[in-house]
Amino acid sequence: DDVKDICLPALRHRLVRRAEAELQGIGEVDAVQRPLARVPVPR
């Protein structure tokens, strides 16, 4: 959970979106949060 909490502030400014992502309305937040949502948090 801690890693997921810091991912957006740590990675958001490092992303360069492709034109396809921009046309599809995928922003920086989506680009970080979508993959993170698929990764289970270890117990």
Residue 4 has pLDDT above 80, yes or no: yes
Answer yes or no: is 16 within a domain: yes
Nearest CA to 27 out of 5, 12, 7 is that of 12
pLDDT number for residue 3: 86
Count how many residues are written for the chain. Answer: 43
Q: Which domain holds residue 10?
A: 2-38
* Count of structural domains, the chain: 1
Answer yes or no: is 43 within a domain: no
Answer yes or no: is 20 within a domain: yes
pLDDT number for residue 42: 84
pLDDT digits (tens, 9 = 90+) for 6-37: 988 998 889 888 899 889 998 888 988 998 89
pLDDT number for residue 23: 92
pLDDT number for residue 13: 86
pLDDT number for residue 20: 92
Question: CA-based Rg of the chain, rounded to a whole angstrom?
Answer: 12
